[in-house]
């Protein structure tokens, strides 16, 4: 985006967005009491859970448990999420039993399927397995979607390192990576918030040099956003012009017609074809006209799978 905008000098620039909400946790609560009902409700409206675990040592910031142990803290919150989902399932199963008993013969089958599926979910939670580990078919995924189960959501674990561990973090990260490797849709990324806060106060040129000296390839927020996109299976494509340069977010594997629908439903309904060029090819060419002259722009039909970083112009007729 920052390289395309100077090329077009648009009236408006619209970046892709990801919203991170810091919900916090209660301290020193017993099992099942650490996350309030309101915060659980807020979590259920999310697309993924980003769990920041403390791995830094600082006597001036005492840990509620008396020691720094990121694997323990991760397990504590995972238990809270498991208990929350377990409670939802138990309540639904109680209601289902009554609904099945009173249902007419023809209406019982879908309710019995739901009961069987929720029974599988309960067994997984009893075995301390998150629901995202279950093998679910499309119909089962659809059935569970409305419950907004917390352990079904992808989880990104962000390990907040000590400055002393930034250069060689493997020993600290190994236990967390081992836990993550047991589960589906679980990823780990490391940051050092204290170091990043110091870098944020530096002029841009000094910040780049500081990061290079510390062996940090890119800012923490960029790493987190990239990891979240990968975990959620998202990519971005662009539309460009003098009025607006804009990034659009779609699921990996989306077709050109589906991407057109992300822009406007009319474009999806009346889709004819898409003119496509890679953002870096467009940048090197210097203009859309030159990109076409060099043969860098191509025509793609509705079934073409959109690639990360593509610049699209959609031709449609409604």
Q: What is the pLDDT of residue 28?
A: 47
* Domain co-membership, 218 together with 249: no
CA distance 38 to 264: 34
Q: Quote the domain boundaries for residue 97.
A: 31-232
CA distances from 131 to 5, 126, 147, 197 (A): 43, 11, 12, 36
In a domain, residue 24? The reply is no
* Low-confidence residues in the chain, pLDDT < 70: 25-34
In a domain, residue 82? The reply is yes
Q: What is the pLDDT of residue 244?
A: 98
* Domain co-membership, 182 together with 268: no
Strand-pairing partners, residue 52, are 158
Number of domains in the chain: 2
In a domain, residue 43? The reply is yes
* Domain co-membership, 115 together with 208: yes
Q: What is the pLDDT of residue 34?
A: 65
67-73 contacts at long range (C-beta below 8 A, 24 or more positions apart): 70/159, 70/172, 70/175, 70/176, 71/175, 71/176, 71/179
Determine how many CB atoms are found less than 10 A away from the CB of residue 154: 20
CA distance 77 to 239: 41
* Domain co-membership, 223 together with 240: no
Looking at 232, 262, 278, the residue that finishes a domain is: 232
* Domain co-membership, 209 together with 289: no
Looking at 165, 199, 232, the residue that finishes a domain is: 232
Task: Provide the phi-psi class of 197: left if phi over 0, else alpha when psi is between -120 and 50, else beta.
Answer: alpha
CA distance 227 to 191: 12
CA distances from 276 to 7, 221, 241, 256 (A): 17, 30, 14, 10
Binning the chain into helix, strand and coil, the percentages to the nearest 5 are 50, 20, 35
Angle at alpha carbon of residue 23, lines to 67 and 120, rounded to 5°: 85
In a domain, residue 184? The reply is yes
Q: What is the pLDDT of residue 214?
A: 81
CA distance 64 to 29: 10
Contact (CB, 8 A) for 264 and 248: no
User: Exposed, middle or buried by CB within 10 Å (0-12, 13-18, 19+), for 157?
Assistant: buried
Q: What is the pLDDT of residue 201?
A: 92
Distance of CA 141 to the CA centre of its chain: 18
Q: What is the pLDDT of residue 27?
A: 53
Determine how many CB atoms are found less than 10 A away from the CB of residue 257: 21
* Domain co-membership, 92 together with 194: yes
* Domain co-membership, 87 together with 111: yes
CA distance 205 to 202: 8
Strands 310-316 and 271-278: antiparallel
What is the DSSP secondary structure assignment for residue 207, as one 8-state letter? H
Contact (CB, 8 A) for 115 and 154: no
CA distance 128 to 132: 12
- CATH classification of the domain holding 88: 1.10.150.300
Exposure on the CB side of residue 155, measured as CA atoms within 13 A: 28
Looking at 211, 232, 253, the residue that finishes a domain is: 232
User: Exposed, middle or buried by CB within 10 Å (0-12, 13-18, 19+), for 125?
Assistant: buried
* Domain co-membership, 227 together with 241: no
* Domain co-membership, 189 together with 97: yes
CA distance 312 to 306: 9
In a domain, residue 25? The reply is no
Q: What is the pLDDT of residue 197?
A: 92
pTM higher than the cut 0.85: yes
- CATH classification of the domain holding 277: 3.10.20.30
In a domain, residue 20? The reply is no
């Amino acid at each position: 985006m920052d390289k395309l905008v100077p090329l077009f000098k648009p009236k408006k620039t619209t970046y892709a967005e990801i919203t991170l909400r810091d919900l916090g946790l209660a301290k020193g609560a017993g099992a099942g009491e650490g996350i309030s009902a309101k915060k659980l409700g807020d979590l259920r409206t999310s697309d993924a859970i980003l769990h920041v675990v403390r791995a830094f040592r600082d006597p001036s910031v005492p840990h509620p448990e008396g020691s720094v142990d990121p694997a323990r803290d991760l397990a504590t919150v995972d238990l809270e999420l498991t208990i929350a989902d377990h409670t939802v399932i138990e309540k639904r199963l109680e209601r289902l039993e009554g609904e099945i008993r009173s249902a007419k013969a023809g209406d019982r089958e879908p309710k019995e399927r739901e009961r069987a599926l929720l029974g599988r979910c309960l067994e997984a939670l009893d075995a301390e397995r998150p629901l995202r580990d279950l093998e679910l078919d499309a119909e089962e995924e659809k059935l569970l979607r409305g419950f907004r189960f917390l352990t079904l959501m992808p989880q990104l674990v962000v390990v907040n390192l000590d400055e002393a561990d930034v250069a060689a973090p493997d020993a600290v990260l190994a236990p967390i990576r081992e836990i993550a490797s047991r589960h589906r849709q679980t990823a780990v990324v490391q940051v050092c918030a204290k170091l990043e806060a110091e870098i944020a106060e530096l002029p841009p040129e000094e910040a780049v040099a500081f990061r290079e000296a510390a062996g940090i390839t890119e800012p923490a927020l960029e790493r987190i956003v990239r990891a979240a996109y990968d975990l959620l299976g998202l990519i971005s494509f662009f539309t460009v012009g003098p009025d607006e340069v804009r990034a659009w977010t779609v699921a990996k594997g989306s077709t050109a017609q589906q991407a057109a629908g992300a822009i406007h439903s009319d474009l999806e309904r009346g889709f004819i074809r898409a003119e496509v060029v890679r953002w870096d090819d467009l940048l090197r060419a210097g203009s859309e006209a030159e990109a076409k002259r060099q043969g860098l722009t191509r025509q793609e039909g509705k079934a073409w799978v959109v690639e990360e970083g593509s610049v699209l112009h959609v031709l449609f007729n409604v």
